[in-house]
Each structure stands twice: as structure tokens, then as C-alpha cells.
């Protein structure tokens, strides 16, 4: 007869496997590989690239809106049922995008993809991991989230080949089918609702049922400043991460070299997510966020002063942790701010702040580039933002595992 401990161990392994598959395909295909389609779509349909680039902002905006309501929705309908419905709808919308023919259609579809991705990727996975794991949960979150880095590196190559051989519409349909297959396996087989009591350790089973959690208001006291800080970090991070390839092209390097730098960065991002979680488990959110910002500043400086391929090493270091701000940093910070009891409600507010920062970042650096023909002025602004936020981390975030009230 299967013991409770054996059942819990199996559930944990299935969750990790399913989570990696979801991040590997769902998030990588819908969000991280979208930039590959911009030029083919614009050339095929005659769109202005500046107008079409707002599509990526719509993706972030959808996530922002969904994040604000996520805590209430997860509590009312359950995490796994929400993941299943949202995973199917996100996949269907991505496949439907292959039939789009106008810019408003792309805006609406990507807003919907961003909205539903919020309910079926990193946020619910981090909450499920928090329920099942009592030790080193942030390291486990990092292991699961590394799937998006490896997936981006893999599907960048796959999508490029498919676009060349089948066109952008055919490529989207093939990738949509891959997502659908992964969704069926992950959401309905691997990621399952816990059996009664399986989210507790065996010795805790005899304990009395816990009282219902009353949602505590998030936006008050220091937490307002922390949410603003997360938004500004996302603006600086988005500026750095999203402009590396075009910046290298602007200063004279080839498209192949720029693409290779970005692809290698994806691998560093994957490893960085695990290291980020490990640092949180050992030293807390203040140290982890300090490391994240310091390495991001190193990468930004390397990008600004790129004089030879050796400087690519600084970009790799800069990319390691800053990409895990939303998927590893936000869940840990939500727990540090309100404990496990309030994590489900707080993570949505923090994720919304980060998503909004990613939403407005392209609008700012895009406008700067259009005006001066270079990203350099915005790099100085991003550097100042990250330095200011580094000071904010020391003043606002809790030491080790203390909570902020």
C-alpha cells in the first residue's frame, strides 16, 4: 500500500517534471521567441515595425491585468483547474494568431495570451511548489523556471528553421501543436491537485485544520515602495535584456554574432534561475536582489562599452539573474512580505508591478531610439535606475527570512 510520504514524493517529482515542460514550451514559445516573427510578419503584411512592436507590450499588459486578480481567482477556483483552462486558451490563441491579418488582431490576441499565461505558467507553478516543498523551495522554483531559458534557446532555432521552410503562419501552427501536446501531458497528467492533506508533512497530518486565510491589503506601508521598486527594476532589466541584439548590430557586429550572444545568454539565464533560488534559500531576498542588481549593472556596463567579443562575458553575467526577477524573485519576495499565508495574494500584486515595468520599458527605449538613433542615452537612465534600486533593496527588503509588516 502506498504511504503518504511516498505519494507526496511522487507528486513533487511529477510537479517538477510538468513545470519544466510548461516553462520549456508554453512561456518560451508564446513570449520569448516572438521577436523572431516580427520581421517576417511585418514584411508579409506590410506593417510598420514600430507599430507592430506594441504587440509585445500588449503581452505584458495582459499579464499585468491578470496578476492583479490572480490571488482571488486562484483562491475561488483552485490553482490546477485555472492552469488547465488557461493553458488550453493560451494555446488556442497562439494557434489562432497564425490566421491574423491586422495589427489590432495581433494586439488583442497577445493581450489574451499574456492574460492566460499568468494563470498557467510561472506564478501558479511557484504557488504549487510552495504547497508541496517545505525546504529549499526557492531552489526548486529555480530548477523549474530554468525550463524557459533552455526552451528559448531550443525554440529560437526550431522557430527560425520553421519560418524559413514554412513561413511564419506555418511555423506558428506547428509550434501551437507542440504547445497543445505539452499542455495535455503537463496540465492533465503531471500537474495534479493534491490529495487531501498531501501538502503537509506526515507528522503534521494530525494537526487541526487551519482557519481560512483573510486577505491582507498589499498596498500599504513599505510594500507600496517595494512594488514601485520592482516596477523600476523591470524597466531597467527590460531595457538591458531586450536591446542587446539590436545594440550590437548598431555598433557594427553581424546579425549572426548578435544572435549567438543572445542564445548563449539564454543558457546563462537558465543556470542563473537555479543559483538565484539557492541564494534566496541560503541568504534571503535582500542578498539575492543585491546580487541580481550588481550583476545586471555589470552586464549593462559591458553592453555600453562593448569594444571586443570578450565583453560578451559581462553580458552573460548580467543576464544570469535579472531574467529571473519575475519567475523566481517575485514568489520569494511575496513570501518574505507576507509569509506563506499571504503569498497567494501578494505574488499577484508584485507580478503586476513587474509586468507593468516590462510593458512601459519598450515604449520608453523605443521612443529614445527613434529620437537619437541609439540606445545609449537609455542605458545611462537604466544604470541610474538599477543603482537607485540597489540602495532601495538595502533599505526596504527584510534580512534573511524576516517578514515585512
pLDDT tens-digit readout, 50-80: 788 788 889 989 998 999 888 889 988 999 9
What count of other Cβ atoms lies within 10 Å of the Cβ of residue 376? 15
Fold of the 218-405 domain:
Growth Hormone; Chain: A; (1.20.1250)
Kindly tell me if the per-residue pLDDT of 378 is higher than 90.
Answer: yes
- The whole-model pTM stands at 0.83
Highest mean pLDDT among 195-209, 294-308, 327-341: 294-308
pLDDT tier for residue 211 given thresholds of 50, 70 and 90:
low
Contacts of 41 (CB under 8 A, 6+ apart): 47, 52, 106, 168
The pLDDT tens digits of the residues spanning 85-141 come to: 999 999 999 999 999 999 999 999 999 999 999 999 989 999 999 888 887 888 999
**Coil, strand, or helix at residue 284?**
strand
Share of the chain above pLDDT 90, in %: 42
Measure the CA–CA gap between 183 and 99, rounded to whole angstroms.
Answer: 21
Q: What mean pLDDT value characterizes the chain?
A: 86
Contact yes or no for 236/296 (Cβ under 8 A)? yes
**Coil, strand, or helix at residue 3?**
coil
Q: Which three cell numbers stand for residue 229?
A: 521598486
- The domain spans of the chain are 1-194, 218-405
1-194 in CATH: which number? 1.20.1250.20
Give the bridge partners for 344, in sequence order: none
Average pLDDT over residues 340-357: 88
Measure the CA–CA gap between 332 and 326, rounded to whole angstroms.
Answer: 10
Give the bridge partners for 400, in sequence order: 284
State the pLDDT at residue 140: 92
The pLDDT tens digits of the residues spanning 226-274 come to: 999 999 999 999 899 888 888 888 888 887 788 788 888 888 988 899 9
Contacts of 207 (CB under 8 A, 6+ apart): 200
The conformation of residue 400, written as its DSSP 8-state character, comes to B
Kindly tell me if the per-residue pLDDT of 154 is higher than 50.
Answer: yes
The pLDDT tens digits of the residues spanning 180-197 come to: 998 889 999 888 876 544
State the pLDDT at residue 242: 84
218-405 matches 1-194 in CATH topology? yes
Average pLDDT over residues 333-358: 88
Amino acid at each position: 500500500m502506498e504511504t503518504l510520504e511516498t505519494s507526496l514524493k511522487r507528486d513533487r517529482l511529477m510537479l517538477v517534471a510538468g513545470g519544466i515542460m510548461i516553462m520549456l514550451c508554453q512561456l518560451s514559445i508564446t513570449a520569448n521567441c516572438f521577436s523572431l516573427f516580427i520581421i517576417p510578419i511585418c514584411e508579409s503584411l506590410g506593417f510598420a515595425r514600430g507599430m507592430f512592436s506594441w504587440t509585445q507590450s500588449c503581452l505584458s499588459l495582459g499579464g499585468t491585468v491578470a496578476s492583479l486578480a490572480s490571488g482571488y481567482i486562484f483562491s475561488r477556483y483552485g490553482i490546477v483547474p485555472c492552469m488547465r483552462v488557461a493553458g488550453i486558451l493560451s494555446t488556442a490563441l497562439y494557434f489562432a494568431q497564425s490566421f491574423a491579418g491586422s495589427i489590432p488582431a495581433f494586439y488583442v490576441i497577445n493581450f489574451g495570451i499574456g492574460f492566460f499565461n499568468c494563470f498557467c505558467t510561472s506564478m501558479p507553478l511557484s504557488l504549487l511548489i510552495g504547497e508541496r516543498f517545505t525546504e529549499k523551495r526557492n531552489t526548486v522554483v529555480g530548477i523549474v523556471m530554468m525550463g524557459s531559458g533552455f526552451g528559448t534557446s531550443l525554440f529560437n532555432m526550431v522557430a527560425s528553421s520553421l519560418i524559413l521552410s514554412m513561413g511564419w503562419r506555418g511555423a506558428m501552427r506547428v509550434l501551437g501543436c507542440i504547445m497543445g501536446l505539452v499542455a495535455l501531458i503537463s496540465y492533465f497528467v503531471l500537474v495534479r491537485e493534491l490529495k487531501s492533506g498531501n501538502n503537509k508533512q506526515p507528522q503534521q497530518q494530525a494537526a487541526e485544520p487551519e482557519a481560512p486565510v483573510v486577505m491582507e491589503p498589499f498596498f500599504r506601508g513599505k510594500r507600496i515602495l517595494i512594488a514601485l521598486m520592482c516596477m523600476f527594476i523591470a524597466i531597467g532589466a527590460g531595457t538591458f535584456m531586450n536591446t542587446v541584439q539590436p545594440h550590437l548590430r548598431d555598433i557594427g557586429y553581424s546579425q549572426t554574432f548578435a544572435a549567438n550572444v543572445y542564445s548563449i545568454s539564454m543558457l546563462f539565464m537558465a543556470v542563473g534561475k537555479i543559483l538565484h533560488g539557492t541564494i534566496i534559500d541560503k541568504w534571503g531576498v535582500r542578498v539575492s536582489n543585491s546580487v541580481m542588481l550588481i550583476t545586471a549593472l555589470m552586464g549593462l556596463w559591458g553592453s555600453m562599452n562593448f569594444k571586443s567579443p570578450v565583453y560578451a562575458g559581462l553580458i552573460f553575467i548580467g543576464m544570469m539573474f535579472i531574467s529571473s526577477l519575475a519567475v523566481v524573485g517575485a514568489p520569494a519576495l511575496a513570501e518574505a512580505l507576507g509569509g506563506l499565508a499571504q503569498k497567494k495574494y501578494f505574488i499577484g500584486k508584485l507580478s503586476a508591478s513587474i509586468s507593468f515595468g516590462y510593458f512601459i520599458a519598450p515604449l520608453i527605449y523605443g521612443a529614445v531610439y527613434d529620437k537619437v538613433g541609439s540606445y545609449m542615452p537609455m542605458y545611462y537612465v537604466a544604470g541610474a535606475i538599477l543603482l537607485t534600486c540597489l540602495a532601495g533593496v538595502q533599505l526596504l527588503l527584510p534580512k534573511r527570512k524576516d517578514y515585512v509588516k
